Amino acid sequence: MKAYATFREIQNELQHGTLTCQDLVRYHLDNIKKKAHLNAFLSVYEDEALAQAQQVDRKLKNGQAGKLAGLVVGLKDVLAYQDHPLQASSNVLEGFISQFNGTAVQRLLDEDAIIIGRQNCDEFAMGSSNESSAFGAVLNDADNARVPGGSSGGSAVAVQADMCQVSLGSDTGGSVRQPAAFCGLVGLKPTYSRISRYGLIAYGSSFDCIGIFGKSVEDVALVLEVIAGADDEDSTVSQQPVPSYSSELSQTNGTPYKVAYVREIENAEGLQPEIREAIVDRIQKIKSAGHTVDVIDFPLQEYVLPTYYILATAEASSNLSRYDGVRFGFRSKNATDLGSMYKKSRSEGFGKEVQRRILLGTFVLSASYYDAYYTKAQKVRRIIREKTKELFKQYDFIVMPITPTTAFKLGEHTDNPLEMYLADLFSVQANVAGVPAIALPCGKDNQGLPIGLQVIADDFEESKLLHFSEALLKMN
C-alpha cells in the first residue's frame, strides 16, 4: 500500500471501495513493526484498532460514518484515553490507567477516527529532543543518529515514518512546532484556549495547548475543526464558535496579506545559514506573490525565553506536586515514614530534567524570590503579549524560524541544559503571548535534514493562518 499525502485521498478510495479502514490499519501496524527501532510508540493497540476499523467500515457501507472515518491517529503519552495506559513517559506514573477520555480524544472517536497507539515523549512534556523519556530516546527517521525534537518527538516521528496519518501532541513552548520542523511536517499550535485541555496532563497550565501533526495543512485543518470548541469540563476553554476550517481552506482570497519577518533572520549569530537562506528565499516568494513584506524588530525578544522558563517551571512545580506516591503511580519501596515516602518516591520516580524544572520552579516561587522572579515575569509576559498584539494591528502574520538549527545529534546537548533550552529561542513567543503558530516544511539543509518555517497569527485567526500556510507550501 502507498503512503497517502492527504486524508482526502484516503476518503476518495474508501468511497470508491478500493480501500478499507482495516487495510489502512494493517498498513500502519506493519510500518510500526518495521520501524520499531525509532521508539515512537510506547503502546500499540493492534487488536483494538483493527476492531475499530471493522466497525468504521460497516458505518461507511451504511452511510453513517463520521467526518474522520478512516483517519488513523496516534496520541502523545499525555492525553487521556479511557482504559489505556497514561504515563507522560515517566516512571512516576508507572501502571496508571486513564479513567476517562480527554475531550479532544473523545471528539476524534465521535467522528470515527481510529486510535492506533500511545506515543513516546519527553518526560512530562519537558524537553526539546525527546531524550528525557523514561522509555529511551526517539530517533529521527531522516537520520537515526539525530533527535526528532521534543517534547512530542514520538508523535512527530510516527507521522514522518507513516505509522499513522495524524498525531495529537502538546505544545507548551514549541513541543509540536519544533519536532514538526525537525521531521519535515506541518505542526499547529492553536490559540491558547481554542482546544479544551481536559484530559491533558498538565505541565504549564497557562501555556499548554493540544497541537496537531500532519502531512498536509488540510488534514490539520480538518482535525482542528473536530476537536476545537467549548467544553463544560474546561473552564479556561474559549466559547468562541469554531469555523469550518477545512471548507474555508479551499475558498479563494484575492486580498494580499501584510507579512512581517523578524530581523533576527538576517543577523542572528546562532541561526544555521541554510535555515536563514531557506526562509529568506520563501520571503522573496511571498513578495513575488503580491503580499506586502516588512522587516520588524521585536524589542522584547531577549526577554521572551527567560520569561517562559521562569513561569513554566513555576507552574510545573505546582502541577507536579500531585505526584507524591500516595494515591497512584510509583511509590518507593525504600520509604520508612510519610516524609521519606514523598521524598524517595519523587526523587526515584522523576527523571533528572523533570527534577531540574521542579527545583527551578520551586526556587522562583519561594518567599524570598517570588517578587523578584515570578511576579516580575508575569508583568513582562503581559507586556510581551501586548507588544505582540500591537504588531497584529499592522500585520496579518509574522514569519520567523522555529529552531536555530536543524535536528542535532543524539546526546549533543544533554550535558548542557542551557544549550538545550536555547533550542526554544524562536518557538516560545507564541506560547508566552498565547497566539496561534504553525510549523511548515521549508526545504532541507546540506545534510538532507528538514528545515521548518514558522508563521504566527493573531488570536483565533487559525482559519486565515491555515489558508496562508496552504498558499505558502505551493510557493515553490
175 catalytic per annotation:
yes
> Of these residues, 89, 90, 175, 216, which one is catalytic?
175
Q: Extract the C-alpha cell encoding 33.
A: 513493526
> Of these residues, 35, 76, 189, 464, which one is catalytic?
76
Distance CA 472, CA 282 (A): 8
Report cis status (omega within 30 of 0) of the bond before 151: yes
Q: Extract the C-alpha cell encoding 357.
A: 524544572
Residue pair 158/110 in contact by the 8 Å Cβ criterion: no
Distance CA 475, CA 453 (A): 13
> Of these residues, 128, 151, 246, 463, which one is catalytic?
151
Residue 351 DSSP SS3: coil
Distance CA 92, CA 351 (A): 9
Residue pair 188/461 in contact by the 8 Å Cβ criterion: no
Distance CA 14, CA 61 (A): 10
Distance CA 429, CA 387 (A): 11
469 catalytic per annotation:
no
Residue 373 DSSP SS3: helix
Distance CA 338, CA 399 (A): 52
Residue pair 434/311 in contact by the 8 Å Cβ criterion: no
Going by C-alpha positions, the residue among 423, 401, 402 that lies closest to residue 412 is 423
Q: Which residues of 436-474 are buried (b: 16+ CB within 10 A; e: fewer)?
A: bbbbbbbbebeeebbbbbbbbbbbbbbbbbbbbbbebbe
Residue pair 378/364 in contact by the 8 Å Cβ criterion: no
Phi/psi for 409 (5° steps) reads -75, 150
Query: Side chain identity at 459, as an amino acid letter?
Result: D
Distance CA 438, CA 211 (A): 10
Residues with catalytic roles: 76, 151, 175
